[in-house]
Amino acid sequence: MSSATSPWWRDAVIYQVYPRSWADADGDGLGDLPGITSRLPHLVELGVDALWISPFYRSPQRDAGYDVADYRDVDPRFGTLADFDVLIERAHHLGLRLIVDLVPNHSSSDHAWFQQALAAPPGSPERARYIFRDGRGPDGDQPPNNWRSKFGGSAWTRIKEADGAPGQWYLHLFDESQPDFDWSHPEIRAEFEDILRFWLDRGVDGFRIDVAHGMVKTEGYPDAPEKYDLAVDPTASQPMWDQPGVHDIFRSWRRLVDSYDGDRILCAEAWVRPDEALARYVRPDECHHSFNFGYLMTPWRATDQRASITRSLEAVRSVGAVQTWVLSNHDVVRHATRLAVPQSTTSLVGGIGPDDPQPDAELGLRRARAATALMLALPGAAYLYQGEELGLPEATMLPPEARQDPTFWRSDEGDVGRDGCRVPVPWEADRPAFGFNETGATWLPQPEVYGPLAVDRQRGVPGSTLEMYRSLLTLRRDRGLGRGELRWLDGFGPDVVAFVVASAGRTTTVLANIARTPLVLPAGATVLVTSGASDRELPADTTVWLDGELSASQVHVPGV
Ligand code: NOJ
């Protein structure tokens, strides 16, 4: 599957399974590990290299499992460790690698260490594993600094001491049920190395590292700048993000995973700017991958797409790493919906609710297909999110009483949150819960439109989104696109993204038409795959892959 000179992860396609919503074997409405095992053949059919599973550890599920109470056990809602062993054995047997999610920035407030910290006095060794501080003001009733939780509200919560008196404050960059660990404490470092070993010994092929840019905070916990422009400021100008010390942690973890056989990988979830700062996470002795969120956030405009791809490739080239590409995950509005709304940070992470303008589904799907076809031609590794291969839109009509994401309750901006991208996926249109389980129970209601998009309605149907993904993945592998070199093509006009990828002695031309007018291909062009309906014409929002190099002079480019 790999060799020392060409490790698998350099051009891998990794599929994210959100365990709550992929497949539910016991019918309680929440997905589980036996469900995942039963549906693995779908991933083989699709043609991906690996799956990454979001957290399934023991957890009170206040942030859908990103609040871990025991890092070495499976939550009974998802199954058992024995179920995990069956899952990994089956995945490996099918030729799929398996990556698990590691949540090292914070634990659940139910974690034994946090409970011990609450019971122990200020200044005790138990408190030292987390970030407890006295409050400001004469009565200590003001938080220690002005940091905000990513989910809204203050990042500090005040506790009651054992005697019932108002006490110290603890830091939580996310929900108050997610206290941040103090990574300057050697015990935390040792504990996580041990947790890594626990899962590596069980055979996992790597880790996706949650909040990789947040573990180390600026010493002294100074106030954050009041004015901070997410669009331009380097993330490190905030005292809680992207501090240099995080890189020492990755260096030690890299040594650890490298001590195992089989090219195990680390993938950083780091929302970091600019691209050069993000590239530091993938230096040769740190992580293998870092999610390219800058690309995910790029507007669907040719100039922006070209600039983002160029910047991304240059940034990783400087450190000798591979770039990753991603369009959807469990935290952002699905790209089949997102690309139909004017781009803004709110519509990206804040979700879309019933009171918001409803996006044009047809436009969104057309653009999503074109964007995916563009992405899967790019050199490097790619991450897919469950259901995108079906063209699933965001569930935008979820009623408030169905919502479970803590951001919905905490949000300063009235965001509806991330539930809309987390709805159980449809497998068979005519079965209960569209085949998610046998009982029809689902932890979030599935929109009716998911029925016609079910796997069984698309399998073998020419032109379906599922078949398009399968073709793209087969061609990508056969033509070695992930290992290729990208060269931009000129002359196609400002609204067409045009490039060739040369690899394994073959050249593939990729054209993404983001103009309003169609582009007509020459009669002799060999179309390998198209995101649109016709092989000859490229209407607006269509991407095509062609065999060989096509020059602009062979194409009728309107307006050029
Ligand atoms: C990033 C995860 O992807 C997200 O779902 C979670 O809420 C936060 N980290 C906190 O763990």
SS3 string of 147-195? CECCCCCECEEEEECCCCCEEEEEECCCCCCCCEECCCCHHHHHHHHHH
Average pLDDT, the chain: 95
**Residue 126 near residue 232 (C-beta atoms within 8 A):** no
Rounded to whole angstroms, the Cα distance separating 422 from 192 reads 28
pLDDT band at 4 (very low <50, low <70, confident <90, very high): very low
pLDDT band at 236 (very low <50, low <70, confident <90, very high): very high
Q: Is 210 in the pocket of ligand 1 (CB under 6 A)?
A: yes
pLDDT, average across residues 353-362: 94
Q: Is 394 in the pocket of ligand 1 (CB under 6 A)?
A: no
Q: Is 101 in the pocket of ligand 1 (CB under 6 A)?
A: no
Name the closest-CA residue to atom 8, ligand 1.
66
Q: Is 405 in the pocket of ligand 1 (CB under 6 A)?
A: no
Lowest mean pLDDT among 12-16, 44-48, 515-519: 515-519
Ligand 1 atom with the shortest distance to the CA of 173: 10
370: phi then psi, degrees, rounded to nearest 5: -65, -40
Ligand 1 atom with the shortest distance to the CA of 406: 7
Q: Is the pLDDT of residue 323 over 80?
A: yes
- Taking the centre of ligand 1 as the mean of its atom positions, its distance from the CA of residue 41, in whole angstroms, is 28
Q: Is 419 in the pocket of ligand 1 (CB under 6 A)?
A: no
Q: What is the pLDDT of residue 363?
A: 96
Q: What is the pLDDT of residue 2?
A: 41
Q: What is the pLDDT of residue 144?
A: 98
Residue 269: active-site member = yes
Q: Is 175 in the pocket of ligand 1 (CB under 6 A)?
A: no
Q: Is 250 in the pocket of ligand 1 (CB under 6 A)?
A: no
Q: What are the tokens at 304?
A: 């922006």
**Please, is 127 exposed, middle or buried when counting C-beta atoms within 10 Å of its C-beta (0-12, 13-18, 19+)?**
buried
Q: What is the pLDDT of residue 25?
A: 98
Q: What is the pLDDT of residue 189?
A: 98
Q: How many helices (H) and strands (E) does the chain have?
A: 14, 20
Q: What is the pLDDT of residue 413?
A: 77
Q: Is 331 in the pocket of ligand 1 (CB under 6 A)?
A: yes
Q: Is 180 in the pocket of ligand 1 (CB under 6 A)?
A: no
Q: Which of 108, 3, 5, 13 is nearest to 55 (CA)?
A: 108
For 499, half-sphere exposure in the C-beta direction (CA atoms, 13 angstrom radius) is 22
Q: Is the pLDDT of residue 64 over 80?
A: yes
Q: Which of 427, 463, 462, 423 is nearest to 443 (CA)?
A: 423
pLDDT, average across residues 468-476: 98
Q: What is the pLDDT of residue 5?
A: 63
Rounded to whole angstroms, the Cα distance separating 385 from 327 reads 8
Ligand 1 atom with the shortest distance to the CA of 105: 11
Q: What is the pLDDT of residue 3?
A: 42
Q: Is 66 in the pocket of ligand 1 (CB under 6 A)?
A: yes
Name the closest-CA residue to atom 2, ligand 1.
210
Q: Is 174 in the pocket of ligand 1 (CB under 6 A)?
A: yes
Q: What is the pLDDT of residue 504?
A: 83
Rounded to whole angstroms, the Cα distance separating 479 from 498 reads 18
Q: What is the pLDDT of residue 411?
A: 83
Q: Is 242 in the pocket of ligand 1 (CB under 6 A)?
A: no
Lowest mean pLDDT among 100-109, 268-277, 339-348: 339-348
From the candidates 49, 182, 269, 389, which is the catalytic residue?
Answer: 269
Q: What is the pLDDT of residue 86?
A: 99
Q: What is the pLDDT of residue 486?
A: 98
- Taking the centre of ligand 1 as the mean of its atom positions, its distance from the CA of residue 211, in whole angstroms, is 7
Q: What is the pLDDT of residue 342?
A: 79
Q: Is the pLDDT of residue 484 over 50?
A: yes
In tens, the pLDDT along 105-128 reads 999 999 999 999 999 999 999 999
From the candidates 210, 286, 388, 415, which is the catalytic residue?
Answer: 210
Lowest mean pLDDT among 53-57, 185-189, 504-508: 504-508
Name the closest-CA residue to atom 11, ligand 1.
66
Q: What is the pLDDT of residue 559?
A: 61
pLDDT, average across residues 251-260: 98
pLDDT band at 535 (very low <50, low <70, confident <90, very high): confident
DSSP 99: E
- Taking the centre of ligand 1 as the mean of its atom positions, its distance from the CA of residue 210, in whole angstroms, is 6
pLDDT band at 346 (very low <50, low <70, confident <90, very high): low
Ligand 1 mutation pick, 18, 53, 63, max ligand atoms within 8 A of CB: 63
**Residue 55 near residue 66 (C-beta atoms within 8 A):** yes
- Taking the centre of ligand 1 as the mean of its atom positions, its distance from the CA of residue 92, in whole angstroms, is 27
Share of the chain above pLDDT 90, in %: 91
Ligand 1 mutation pick, 20, 66, 101, max ligand atoms within 8 A of CB: 66
pLDDT, average across residues 220-229: 92
pLDDT, average across residues 17-32: 98
- Taking the centre of ligand 1 as the mean of its atom positions, its distance from the CA of residue 175, in whole angstroms, is 10
Ligand 1 mutation pick, 99, 290, 331, max ligand atoms within 8 A of CB: 331
